[in-house]
Amino acid sequence: MITGQKRSFNFGSNVIAWHSNFKAKSSRHESIAKNHFLNQQIEIVLPREKGIEVAKTLQWEGAFYYEIIANPSLFLQKEFREKYVLKGSVSMLTKNVPIDASNTACLLPTGELILVVNNETYERIGIAGKKYGGFGKNKRRLRQKLRKNQTRNRKLGQRYTIALDLKSTSLTDEEIARITASLNTHFPNVCMLITAINESGKPQTILFDERIVQARQRVESSCQSTTYTDIYVPQVSLLATEGTQSSTNVSDKCEKLNDMRQWLGFVSCRLESLLRQEEPDGYTSTFSGDIVMPSERETIAVLRWRGMLSTNMCTSLLDKMRSYLQEGAIEWASFTSWGFQDAPVSWVPEKTKACDNEHGVMFYGSNYYTFIMLPREEYYSIQSAGPHDTTA
């Protein structure tokens, strides 16, 4: 029985690997998926003909989101807040707004509206916040690195983060009116990506006030399905645990898991020549893509969704994959979700601590996770986190 013990696979300083069982009390799959709020791409890999049949069903799964131009004060409007924020959940992230150069914002499903503003806006806006960038234990080293990356005329500490809990019962009408007026005056209108979930966990249509929203477009997050034939696929069954964990060679598992991670990278980048283990053109590339893990020629189905994707969509797809594995409809599966690199936060394990978990976008903005799912509810998770991410 797998107990959910953490494995130090040491792929790199920003990669965390975990081997567990979905039914184990110490399993981290829920905290990984449910607390990764801002997802921009999902990819599922399914093997063999069985996987292709399952893909034909899953490809009809989809959602939608909105792209609008408005002021963040929109979320403080009484009707919007009561109908969408308090009764369900809303996720939002500003689009085409560099976090290190412009005022930006995001809204988490927990109801926290997070603003990241420059020093001038912070002084004018009149809402309490704190300096952006919780550097954690490596504070001194990371600050020194940030100074080197900054331009001469940009000083450390110029940016501030403000967190507003829109679900707080202590938020009075007078306070909302003051914050709304301040945002309308000192925070510019921005392009935002928004998705809403109702109380039943389903995607919800949003009716925007045309007096507040300058432009609105509904975007469908439809699935892109791709099939690869006659490619080399790692024997994922070799990752399955037989017997007890004490008999498992951790270094061997590490090597195989690293190969699997690299192979999934080939799939995500659509590198068909490497998937077929063809020798690359030495003039354009010296990367061979060789993996040690035994492989065999097979067929795979790859499903991809892109856009502003909710955590509900991620957890729903994960649950479906688990069901297919339990039924024997597929032999294994991989599930990967990528977050937005240029976002104020990535994983947020505790409410009211969102702004403490700034994930280090100025150093390494990557934030994604992968589940390699096996029979009997066994799985491996791989997280790519920022240098001072909180991923509990």
pLDDT at 134 over 90: no
- Could you tell me if 220 and 205 are in contact, meaning their C-beta atoms sit under 8 angstroms apart? no
Helix (H, G, I), strand (E, B) or coil at 261: helix
Other CB atoms within a 10 A radius of the CB of residue 155 amount to 11
Other CB atoms within a 10 A radius of the CB of residue 212 amount to 15
pLDDT at 57 over 60: yes
User: What does the pLDDT average to over 77-94?
Assistant: 95
pLDDT at 158 over 90: no
Token digits of residue 6: 């953490």
pLDDT at 266 over 80: yes
Token digits of residue 92: 């939002």
* Least reliable range by pLDDT among 46-60, 121-135, 147-161, 354-368: 147-161
Query: Angle between the 48-58 and 311-327 helix axes, to the nearest 10 degrees?
Result: 140
* Least reliable range by pLDDT among 84-98, 161-175, 281-295: 281-295
User: What does the pLDDT average to over 200-227?
Assistant: 94
Confidence band for 16, pLDDT divided at 50, 70 and 90: confident
The pLDDT of residue 133 = 65
Confidence band for 345, pLDDT divided at 50, 70 and 90: confident
Confidence band for 353, pLDDT divided at 50, 70 and 90: low
The pLDDT of residue 1 = 33
Distance CA 151, CA 148 (A): 8
User: What does the pLDDT average to over 12-34?
Assistant: 87
The pLDDT of residue 323 = 97
The pLDDT of residue 155 = 47
The pLDDT of residue 247 = 44
User: What does the pLDDT average to over 200-223?
Assistant: 93
Distance CA 359, CA 355 (A): 9
The pLDDT of residue 243 = 45
pLDDT at 392 over 70: no
Distance CA 188, CA 80 (A): 20
User: What does the pLDDT average to over 34-63?
Assistant: 95
Distance CA 131, CA 110 (A): 22
**How are strands ordered across the β-sheet holding 63-70?**
130-131, 159-165, 112-118, 104-107, 89-94, 190-197, 63-70, 215-221
